[in-house]
Structure 1
Amino acid sequence: MTSSLPDQHETLRRWRLILGRYAEAPMSSCTSFSGQDWQLDQTLDFLYGREYEGRGLVRGGGGALDPSQIQAVDWLNRSRKLFPRDVYERMQTQAVERYQMTELLSDPALLEALEPTPALTKALISMRGRLSGQMRDAVRQIIRRTVDEITRRLRQDFVNALSGRRNRQRRSSLKDSRNFDARATILANLRHFDVGSKRLLIERPLFNARVKRHLPWDVILCVDQSGSMLDSVIYSAVLAGIMASLPAVRVKLVLFDTSVVDLTHLAHDPVEVLLTVQLGGGTDIGRALRYCETLVDQPQRTVLVLISDFEEGAPPLHLLAAVKRLAESRVTLLGLAALDDAATPIYDRLMAQRLADRGMQIAALTPPHFAEWLAEVMQ
């Protein structure tokens, strides 16, 4: 069966937008394309035409766009209008990370106009050493906006989980589903049971209150900052900032690759932590844990969280020995495996098992679930 004429036009349109100026027929010769198609073609070519240039092809020729080339500011504004938000955010990240668009990296106003996302923040952190002082200020603002948004999403989970446990003897007016007391609610509403429909009508749901924890816990975040761990570093910095604001938790923040950096004095400020990160190099987890041993004051009220892909670059003997010593001293050891952008765990499972055999609990969790896990071990 042959395709209908409208289907053929749509297929031709899609291929023309994919191939850009290097298609056989320029957009101007395709009379069936709309004005929005023209704008899409310009916008895509402004960014992805750089791919051809990187392969030695020059702009120009039979597929040229109209004489009025768009500028970076026009590209930003137009992309934001033409594409769904997730597509636009991916394009702006590729503009900075893959193509290192000089127009954006030399104008603070354009950089500040970008949509702050974790992906963009990762790209800017990795190249901030090549930026001027004025541009570094703009990068700082983007990182701050990203951190503020992540903090806004995660903070309540950590406050609820770490500020107190459920108090079943006291009721709360806060209608939080995590505090819902199903058993007490059923008992209190049994008189409303409808025999005919066999349904229990809930007149008044009951919720448990929270009690404050007064005995503080020490939480040592030991974070792998090798090149593959930037996603985890960003979230770890935010989590350290949140926990540093809680009265029942004393946070110590340690970053490592083959070197170890104690950033406890910056734990309250995730932005400064991220501006301090030095990505790259190898990984010496054993050295980092040996340093963390020196930070332990009250073993039975200390949680040491190793955030890593567990890809040990040094001989594992020192790492395994440190884990065994810490476990025997009754420090609570949590190993939080690295997650990629799609929240898929990426870590050395063999090493994770060896760590678990010596007393470290291992899990791959998103930050909200990590908050619940941390709260459970601190009960």
Structure 2
Amino acid sequence: MTAPDPELERWRLILGAPAEAHTGAPSSKAADRDAALDWLYGRDAELERRHIRRGGLARKRGDGTEESEGNGGAEASGRDRRAGSEPSVLTTVDWLDDIHRLFPRETIERLERDAVESYGIHEVVTDPDVLSRVKPNATLLRAVLRTKHLMNPQVLVLARRIVEAVVRELLERLTPEIRSSFSGTRARRPSRFRQARNFDFHATIRANLAHYDPATRRIAIENPRFVSRTRRHIEQWQLILLVDQSASMTASVIHSAVTAACLWSLPGLRTHLITFDTAVVDLTQDVTDPVELLMKTQLGGGTDIAKAVAYGATLVDNPRRTILAVVTDFYEGGDEHRLVRTVRGLVEQGTQVLGLAALDEEANPDYDHDLAQRLADTGAHVGAMTPGRLAAFVAERMGR
């Protein structure tokens, strides 16, 4: 028996059962993959409508009858696998076992993400049998935070394993990047302490122009120049992080918690972390334990940015040594005029106000541009940042 063509099999998986007339039947493994994909993506309502239309037209062309598209499609949709009792037999646990057997890691992560985020299959994070099988990743962490209110104590223990694993991985990756921003800022004063990271390129070129060789077009460096670095613990600064808990900001909530933990013990910087929806909750005491902090967050609900910023303003000790960062999509459910007035007052007294439409590794924001522009017009800095870039922003301001 001739083995199926891999390219045709790939197209068969993409196009579904109606393509078999041209691609041929898939191999056993490809059929298993197709079944796993259909278990998830067969739920798509638009796909169902397309199959019904395609099936109805095929029936009409085949025998000349005038059956409605719905009747024809029900019989000729090409989704034979889903007939009978199969959807009820194949559980989420079975499906997870299948995809981990059949697909590479990148595909598995995409399938798990779509299961939770596109099709609301919350068993992935609320069923203890499923939780014991899944590999922790950022998608599952976001799902845990959104659905933990549905979990009983036993499931919460298993869900916490996902939170701990992903937070630990984020801390290991982000801590060096964030802390490197605080190794000291360059000062303008020359230094006799020679260290590569303190090398002053422009001053060195100016000091050695007399040694330029036109033939080789090179400068012989006889007198390298270096600069000194300031020490950050000389003056105390405050960083006040206000984090929107609305569902669309889940990734930013996670990275805000981890970033605050990374910044917490840095000399010269006092970090506050406040979450908000229509209420404001000060979680500063939990900053050193981002896992516990995330388990306390309550995602969803309304948004009152004005109330959160007003609370943050009460924490300011020295305006000219304070950075107030609001992580939000700027869709205000409270008083916009109050928000703009409060931000303007903070800027006028010397506080650095930073509005972040996203704080995560992608930094792809979706936000209310009009309100963001109004805040920028008052003197606030508005944008989207990765955690490392936020740390660099804080370091730059502290080094002035």
TM-score normalised over the length of structure 1: 0.79
Q: Which residue of 1 aligns with 2:65?
A: none
Change (3 A) 1:209 1:134: farther
Q: Which residue of 2 aligns with 1:16?
A: 12
Q: Which residue of 2 aligns with 1:336?
A: 356
Deviation at 1:43, TM superposition (A): 3.1
2:300 match: secondary structure: coil
Deviation at 1:221, TM superposition (A): 0.5
Q: Which residue of 1 aligns with 2:60?
A: none
Q: Which residue of 2 aligns with 1:3?
A: none
Change (3 A) 1:145 1:110: same
Q: Which residue of 2 aligns with 1:260?
A: 280
1:223 match: secondary structure: strand
Deviation at 1:202, TM superposition (A): 8.6
Cα distance in 1 between the residues matched to 2:321 and 2:303: 28
- Please say if 1:169 is aligned against 2:162: no
CA deviations 1:237-269 (Å, max 9, x no partner) are 111111112122111111111111111111222
Greater shift after overlay, 105-114 or 290-299?
Answer: 105-114
Cα distance in 2 between the residues matched to 1:267 and 1:340: 17
Deviation at 1:366, TM superposition (A): 2.1
- Please say if 1:284 is aligned against 2:277: no
2:385 match: secondary structure: coil
2:201 maps to amino acid:
A
Cα distance in 1 between the residues matched to 2:359 and 2:261: 20
Residue pair 1:238, 1:270 contacting (<8 A) in 2 also: yes
Change (3 A) 1:94 1:208: farther
Note the aligned Cα RMSD (angstroms): 4.1
Pick one of 192, 196, 201 that aligns with 1:182: 201
- Please say if 1:224 is aligned against 2:265: no
- Please say if 1:297 is aligned against 2:290: no
2:191 match: secondary structure: strand
1:40 maps to amino acid:
R
CA deviations 1:172-214 (Å, max 9, x no partner) are 65x66xx553236657998997765435689999876754311
Pick one of 383, 388, 395 that aligns with 1:368: 388
Greater shift after overlay, 94-103 or 331-340?
Answer: 94-103
Q: Which residue of 1 aligns with 2:36?
A: 43
- Please say if 1:212 is aligned against 2:231: yes
CA deviations 1:203-236 (Å, max 9, x no partner) are 9998767543112211110111122211211111
Cα distance in 2 between the residues matched to 1:201 and 1:153: 40
Number of aligned pairs?
365
Residue pair 2:327, 2:359 contacting (<8 A) in 1 also: no
CA deviations 1:319-344 (Å, max 9, x no partner) are 12211222232222122223688533
Change (3 A) 1:102 1:353: closer
Q: Which residue of 2 aligns with 1:307?
A: 327
Q: Which residue of 1 aligns with 2:67?
A: none
Cα distance in 1 between the residues matched to 2:158 and 2:11: 38
Change (3 A) 1:305 1:41: same
1:162 match: secondary structure: coil
Residue pair 1:339, 1:346 contacting (<8 A) in 2 also: no
Structure 2: runs of 5+ lacking an equivalent: 50-73
Residue pair 1:163, 1:246 contacting (<8 A) in 2 also: no
Q: Which residue of 1 aligns with 2:261?
A: 241
1:297 match: secondary structure: coil
CA deviations 1:101-123 (Å, max 9, x no partner) are 46644554642543333222112
Residue pair 2:200, 2:227 contacting (<8 A) in 1 also: yes
CA deviations 1:135-156 (Å, max 9, x no partner) are 1112112112212222222222
Change (3 A) 1:111 1:190: farther
- Please say if 1:122 is aligned against 2:122: no
Structure 1: runs of 5+ lacking an equivalent: 1-5
- Please say if 1:317 is aligned against 2:337: yes
1:335 match: secondary structure: strand
Q: Which has the larger radius of gyration?
A: 2
1:305 match: secondary structure: strand
CA deviations 1:301-334 (Å, max 9, x no partner) are 1111111122222232211221122223222212
CA deviations 1:50-73 (Å, max 9, x no partner) are 547x97999x974479x9987756
Residue pair 1:42, 1:70 contacting (<8 A) in 2 also: no
Cα distance in 2 between the residues matched to 1:344 and 1:98: 19
Cα distance in 2 between the residues matched to 1:14 and 1:151: 39
1:251 match: secondary structure: strand
